[in-house]
Amino acid sequence: MALISVGIDHEHASLDLLERASVPEHGWSKVLRTLMIQRNVHEAVFVSTCLRTEVVAVIDRFHGAIEEITHTLGEATGLAPETFTDHLTVNFDRDVATHLFSVASGLKSVVPGEFEVLGQLRRALELAIEEQTAGPEITELFQRAIASGRRVRNETPIARGSTSFAQASVMMATDDLGVNLDGADVIIIGAGQLAGGIARTLLDRPARLRRMTICNRTIARGERLRDDLADPRAVVASLEDVTTLISTARLVVAAVEVAAPVITRSDLERCRQEVLFVDLGLPRAIASDVAGLANVRRIDIGDLRERVGQALGDRRDAVADAQRIVADDVEKYLSDQRARGAAAIVSDLRELFDEVVAGEMARRESDLEGLTLEQRDKVASLLRSVVAKIAHRPTVVLKEAAGTDQGTRLSEATRTLFDL
């Protein structure tokens, strides 16, 4: 069996395709259950965020697994496989660890070092464990990747400054685009982790907002976020209230998963004062057709990605340091995996030899009838001693080579030769 990752991400697909390929978190369990009925999939974790929809799995046949995972992604997203197969990112065997550790470290994020991805990976693993689709191999892979992500953020400055969509989007709105929020009304659409980060960032800015309205599908969840913020400027409204509230807002930030935009072009046409809309949702929560609307400006993840790319100059060294840590952690993980594999083979080999000795003693029982119990024990001891001497050199070499490419080849050869 081997590891594989198959996904659609912002590095190889358009925002439009990413939008159509996203799967709401409440649909992840169904994807996992579908994956586990496939012939070539033995373990699986599934994660879908605004910029990444991906399966990490333990598989048998490579091409068979690719076909099964692609078919499952098509079913989950409602897309015909031919619309996204040319944009898939596929990693196999040791490259899966390098890929996942890099994702966890924020090296593959629009905002390098952003911390939200760690929570996304952790939730994906927890769900897979709950659904019993994550076995020991894939569980350790994710746990080690998340640990490496934390190490990168602790040991390098990659996470300094703007370290999340929340912070980067607020900085772009207030600093780059010059939106003055003194005495302004702000609307946050959504009440999840991303929305919470945006709300905190805005409330901590020097500008004093007049009111922040949290609009969410579930009022109770919006109220929990309001209570966590513990700021009298934060109030709660329903998602249906958004179209009325935007008439007095200066900034509207959408960080929510919706099937269709909650703010349409006709809603935007009613804006009588200048307002900036920041759409961080995929699928999009705010209509993208704003051409010809005098009072409306709109930015989304694409604009954010461009801004971050331009601002990376002073963080190149941090990225390089993070890459070195990831490479080091990946090598340690792979070495540990190979060492455990060698230990398992040595154990299986010794168990096989013991079974051969016991089987031969039982098969030749009639030939030993004239021997006393003590003499039979001596014969069995002699057999075990001979077998142990024969097995000594192979087991020593397997242990010494553990964690190397030669050890991997020797392990594979031993399994083949002894049918382990």
- 158 within 8 A of 141, measured Cβ to Cβ: no
Catalytic-role residue among 8, 31, 50, 168: 50
User: How many of the other CB atoms lie within 10 Å of CB of 397?
Assistant: 15
Rounded to 10 deg, the angle between the 316-363 and 94-104 helix axes is: 140
Residue 385 neighbours by CB under 8 Å, 6+ apart: none
CB 152 within 8 A of CB 97: no
Q: How far is CA 233 from the centre of its chain?
A: 35
Helix then strand then coil, in percent of the chain rounded to 5, is 60, 15, 25
Q: Tell me how far apart the alpha carbons of residues 367 and 361 are, in angstroms, rounded to a whole number.
A: 9
DSSP, residue by residue, 250-277: SEEEE----SS-SB-HHHHTT--S-EEE
Q: For residue 52, give the 3-state DSSP assignment.
A: strand
Q: CA angle, 29 as apex, 23 and 34 as ends, to 5°?
A: 90
Q: Output the CA torsion 314→316→322→324 (10° steps).
A: -140
Answer whether 243's CB lies under 8 Å from 188's CB.
no
Instruction: For residue 119, give every residue at least 6 positions away whose Cβ sits within 8 Å of its Cβ, in sequence order, or none.
Output: 193
The two structure tokens encoding residue 374: 């003590």
The C-alpha atoms of residue 253 and residue 276 are separated, in whole angstroms, by: 8
Q: Alpha-carbon distance 323 to 311, whole Å?
A: 19
Q: How would DSSP label each residue in 111-131?
A: STT-SHHHHHHHHHHHHHHHT
At position 2, the amino acid (one-letter code) is A
SS3 192: coil
Would residue 50 show up in a list of annotated catalytic residues for this protein?
yes
Q: Which residues are catalytic?
A: 50
